[in-house]
Amino acid sequence: MKNKKIDLIRKKLDKLDLKMLTLIKKRSILVNKILKEKKYKNQIIDNKRIKIILRKISKESKKINLDTKITNSIWKAMIKSFINYEFRNFKKK
């Protein structure tokens, strides 16, 4: 038995997912610009910057009453994915 309410909500989720893909693409473009500026592979991981990002995301999540465990987990995964991307695409000058 189909639940029409669930189907409607899922359609909204699908639209949001597409918007998120657009944002991830924009983020990828910026990451590529930064990657072009890096001369050495050891510049790819910046633990200090990662800590700052995660603190900022946690703080902003709390402000809007969003579960910090969710946002922390998402951002850690995204950061890890972009780090892997940078390592795969690093080109020494």
Residue pLDDT, tens place only, 25-44: 999 999 999 999 999 999 99
Number of folded domains in the chain?
1
Assign residue 44 the CATH number of its domain. Answer: 1.20.59
> What residue numbers bound the domain in which 62 lies?
4-89
- Taking CA atoms, 4 is separated from 8, 11, 12, 18, in Å, by 6, 11, 13, 21
Residues of the chain with pLDDT under 70: 92-93
Rounded to whole angstroms, the Cα distance separating 48 from 13 reads: 34
Structure tokens at 17: 């997912």
Give residue 91's pLDDT: 83
Max distance between CA atoms of the chain, in angstroms, equals 60
